[in-house]
Structure 1
Amino acid sequence: MWFTKKNRVDDVAKLLAHSPDFMCRRIRCQGKIVNVLFLSNLINHDHLQQNVLAFIHEQKHVSIDELARCLPIGAIRICETEKEMASAIRDGWAVISIEQEKRVLAVNIAEKVERSLEKAETESLVLGPKISFTESIDTNIRILRQNITDKHLVTEKVEIGERNKLEVRVVYIQDIADETNVQTVKQRLSELRIDEVIDSSVLAQLLDDHAYTIFPQYLLTELPDRLAYSLMKGRIGIFVDRSPTVIVCPTTFFSFFETTEDIYLRWTMSTILRAVRMLGIFASIFLSPLYVAVITYHYEVIPSALLLTIGESRSRVPFPPVIEALFLEFMIELLREAGARLPTKVGQTMGIVGGIVLGQAAVDAGFTSNVLIIIVALSALGSFTAPSYEMGATIRILRFPIILLAALWGLIGIFIGVSLLLIHLLKLTSLGRPYLSPVYPFRFADIKYSLIRLPIKFYGERPKTNRPKNSRRFSWREAMKRKDLDE
């Protein structure tokens, strides 16, 4: 006998740490003892009763092969060791063992806990689909397949985590995605030796090319249409179970300033909005440092009328410009963090009221000037124009070292900061691909996928940055042919 012995059930119970919700249903059927093992908190009890227990009672000949062939359950697998049994039970499966049979049968009757489909929280859109991914990897794959019906769509399963196993899916279009990129992703996943991975954002950090940089190297998205668009351009997606965001790679610096809304709008509006975002990011990084540099070292560049206003505004401020700027920037960060951690309605009120009250109080108390409050507010707004939360946080942090450089050496300090920043960005890669592509190395054909947006007819080729196998999307000459009804 194999699993019908009491000590075998005890061995499985030990592997499950003697969980109080571990159950063993013993059934006598056709003179044989059938044990059904499961964790009561993880299974669907209706499926257990109707599709497993009742079905076994109705059988004339009970055997593992017969049950495997006839059980009305889709997911079934054979287990041969106690470890395999315990692993299946922890996943919400029920394990069926029969007297005098060495193998056992595991059937999937798991009760998945997941939220319903909702609108995206971190990536809001005016046009386009509003649905977002959820914490269930099965639901997310189903959403993706509804968005991409291409027969070459591949979803490969990988398990990571030494103690807490987690299912990961690598998705790509087989005849589009570069094979080197695909193999690099698989290799990095297979080489991970870690107890657990909590979320896709943690996995992205583990897969990074450069662990010590402040810039995100992989794009995280919760929008199915954005993932579908990226896959069709030759990129790779990585789903992580229990995470509502998907990793997209390889990624460039400019990808973090694009949205799928750029595709849904007309090309003229999309180009303007991209320019506004880039200007907002530029202003967010350099407005406060420019204020500190000019007020500290370069009065001569300020027009006389404006200099008078600034002098009058700063007449009651006892601190140097760098202390004044750092104080206000820190106050803005405190308000932002407090608003993010509080409940939604309270957080919005806190941000608006707190900003107005603290700003006015700081001016009245002589801690800062009116001009700097306007500059810091514009810098904060500029950082929020980045569609990616990670890149927006990076932009906000970059302001502080550049403010210090501006306080030390003025405009020269800002230029030093810009030079160091460019050198750092030029050295970065994402999945081994240049981070600043298509600006460096320069690819004129791919500029339309990053800095500007052109009419649809110019997008007949996929971006060469991703090195797609099949670069052709369509022939624009054929696509643009128009025929009237009377022709």
Structure 2
Amino acid sequence: MFNNKKDKKNEQSTNNQQELQEPTKHYTKSELKQTLDTRTKEEFVNLIKDKVSSPADFIVKNINDEITIIYIENLIEVQSLNDNIISTLQSISEPTPQLIKEKLSLAQVDISNKLDVIIYELIGGAALIHTKENADIVVAKISSYQSRSLSAPENESQVIGTQVGFNENLTTNISLIRRFIKSPNLCNENFEVGEDTVTSISLLYLKGTASEEQVNTIRQRIESLDVSGLIDSAILAELIDDSTKTVFPQMLLTERPDRFCDGLLSGKIGIMMNGSSMGIVTPIAFIEFFHSKEDQNLRWQIGTMLRLLRFSAIIASVFLTPIYVAALTYHYEIISHTLIVPLSESRAIVPFPPILEALFLELIIELLREAGSRLPTKVGQTVGIVGGIVIGTAAVDAGITSNILIIFVALSALASFTTPNYVMANIIRFLRFPIIILAGIWGFLGIMIAVCFLLIHLLRLSSLGAPYLSPLYPLRLKDLPNSLIRLPLSNISRQAVNTRKGDDESTNQENNEKVSE
């Protein structure tokens, strides 16, 4: 008896394996882009079920002999289905697609006989209503997606200003933008990208303010994307950048709706993507990555001081450790006599040259920072503080490094946190390493070589066709002060320097006249 049961189980498992091994047919776009013909209820249900690979949550409900509803259970709002659709359909005696559309009290109800449209709407959270012997399908959009509630931005926090940031719902983000900008000139163009994800993308700009040429350029780049999936705005920004061979971003990622809208008002173009809490602002200049939205919310005197402090800290973050390495390796003559003795004493028992000592400490700092960011918040802060103190003290006591270099490296790490943009802050962090290596090989000459290569590279970059180093190059004397300091609001041009149209020639003439004077 037990052998018979065992044989039956083996046969059943063999059949299951054969079913699992049967390849699932992959439908191409050309196969999906066909027009439905008149089908019976059973034929239509089998067709749709086959196209969506027969998911477990695929539901078919027969209202009567003439009406059938198809939906995916986990994607729709069941309460809306019962109250607004099923109850209405039960009251219709002679159903037709047009009559059903008129009777349903829903905002989004369409009729289509295109198979690809029907499939994408179904997996997007719509209910399909099929009537007997009819090729036209009623599509009722009753999707129910759980989205995160609005909260304060985590990476771009500030004291003065709005305390709400974008979330992962595109509709919510667009409504936030329209609350800030109530202009009829605000244009919103929709795109769908990704063969598998079918990600919704919104292109936003102010008509008459944004450059039509730049709008056409970004529109063409989005339409030309041929990817299987698109999950985050950072990936989209990299795909449509002017150059993907550089570490420097040419588009600004922000989670603040006020900064996003400020870019639109100044003539820039914004991009929002469903499923991402980051908006894209373009074109952007290199120096704008170091501007904070809070600079504009403070008095111009305080904003100027904070901006100058930030620029000084960023320069110190990049060059402080390389200068230390170059000075101790090749240029002792620039060190004050009062500092020679403590420097010599601190390095008396260190067996490594300054370049290896500096690289070792920089790597330790980056390891602590990376470990702290991957751990839970409270644990990460503890690991960063305790780990830094313990490792730093142990390294000095063991004679691996000098205490003065620890001060330099700690100041560099602290100064790098003043960069308001997370993407640019990461670039600043790792920009020190090649400069330290060049400083250890050639001293100050190596630092100058690194600076020249960096400037040449930045000069060759552009953001949506606009110069990346604007207004430094090409030089725009009118716009240069507000890029370096925070001018009074009455002296600030509303139009961004890299979106202004038709003033290149006039700017060059003004520059030549001032230089000749």
> Scaled by the length of structure 2, what TM-score is found?
0.89
> Do structure 1's residue 274 and structure 2's residue 340 form an aligned pair?
no
Matching residue of 2:252? 219
Residue 465 of structure 1 and its aligned partner are, at CA, apart by: 2.1
What CA distance in whole angstroms lies between the structure 1 residues aligned with 2:84 and 2:482? 52
Which of 157, 160, 176 does residue 124 from structure 1 map onto? Answer: 157
Residue 63 of structure 1 and its aligned partner are, at CA, apart by: 1.5
> Do structure 1's residue 11 and structure 2's residue 47 form an aligned pair?
yes
RMSD after superposition: 1.3
What CA distance in whole angstroms lies between the structure 2 residues aligned with 1:387 and 1:449? 17
Residue 259 of structure 1 and its aligned partner are, at CA, apart by: 1.3
Matching residue of 1:474? none
Which of 132, 144, 152 does residue 177 from structure 2 map onto? Answer: 144
Matching residue of 1:42? 75
What CA distance in whole angstroms lies between the structure 2 residues aligned with 1:214 and 1:234? 25
What CA distance in whole angstroms lies between the structure 2 residues aligned with 1:316 and 1:7? 85
Matching residue of 2:84? 51
> Do structure 1's residue 262 and structure 2's residue 295 form an aligned pair?
yes
Task: After TM superposition, list the pairs within 5 Å mapping 1:162-181 onto structure 2.
Answer: 162-181=195-214
Matching residue of 1:82? 115
Task: After TM superposition, list the pairs within 5 Å mapping 1:35-434 onto structure 2.
Answer: 35-434=68-467
What CA distance in whole angstroms lies between the structure 1 residues aligned with 2:359 and 2:277? 35
* One-letter amino acid of the counterpart of residue 256, structure 1: F
Cα deviation 1:355-394 (Å, max 9, x = unaligned): 1111111111111111111110111111111100010000
Cα deviation 1:324-374 (Å, max 9, x = unaligned): 000000001001110110011111111111111111111111111111111
What CA distance in whole angstroms lies between the structure 2 residues aligned with 1:461 and 1:387? 22
What CA distance in whole angstroms lies between the structure 1 residues aligned with 2:102 and 2:293? 46
Q: After the TM superposition, which of the residue ranges 108-117 and 70-79 deviates more from structure 2?
A: 70-79
* One-letter amino acid of the counterpart of residue 144, structure 1: I
**May I ask how many residue pairs the two structures share in their alignment?**
467
Residue 2 of structure 1 and its aligned partner are, at CA, apart by: 2.5
Q: After the TM superposition, which of the residue ranges 332-341 and 59-68 deviates more from structure 2?
A: 59-68
Matching residue of 2:507? none
Structure 1 contact 3–9 (Cα < 8 Å) conserved = no
Structure 1 contact 64–104 (Cα < 8 Å) conserved = yes
What CA distance in whole angstroms lies between the structure 2 residues aligned with 1:409 and 1:212? 27
Matching residue of 1:475? none
* One-letter amino acid of the counterpart of residue 165, structure 1: V
What CA distance in whole angstroms lies between the structure 2 residues aligned with 1:2 and 1:114? 38
- Partner SS for 2:237: helix
Residue 59 of structure 1 and its aligned partner are, at CA, apart by: 2.5
Matching residue of 1:477? none
Residue 82 of structure 1 and its aligned partner are, at CA, apart by: 3.1
> Scaled by the length of structure 1, what TM-score is found?
0.94
What CA distance in whole angstroms lies between the structure 1 residues aligned with 2:345 and 2:109? 78
Cα deviation 1:216-248 (Å, max 9, x = unaligned): 111000000000111000000110110000010
What CA distance in whole angstroms lies between the structure 2 residues aligned with 1:287 and 1:309? 18
Structure 1: 5+ residue stretches without partners? 471-487
* One-letter amino acid of the counterpart of residue 8, structure 1: F
Larger C-alpha radius of gyration, 1 or 2?
Answer: 2
* One-letter amino acid of the counterpart of residue 16, structure 1: V
* One-letter amino acid of the counterpart of residue 5, structure 1: K
What CA distance in whole angstroms lies between the structure 2 residues aligned with 1:18 and 1:83? 16
What CA distance in whole angstroms lies between the structure 1 residues aligned with 2:202 and 2:53? 29
Identity %: 44
- Partner SS for 2:163: coil
Structure 2: 5+ residue stretches without partners? 1-36, 504-517
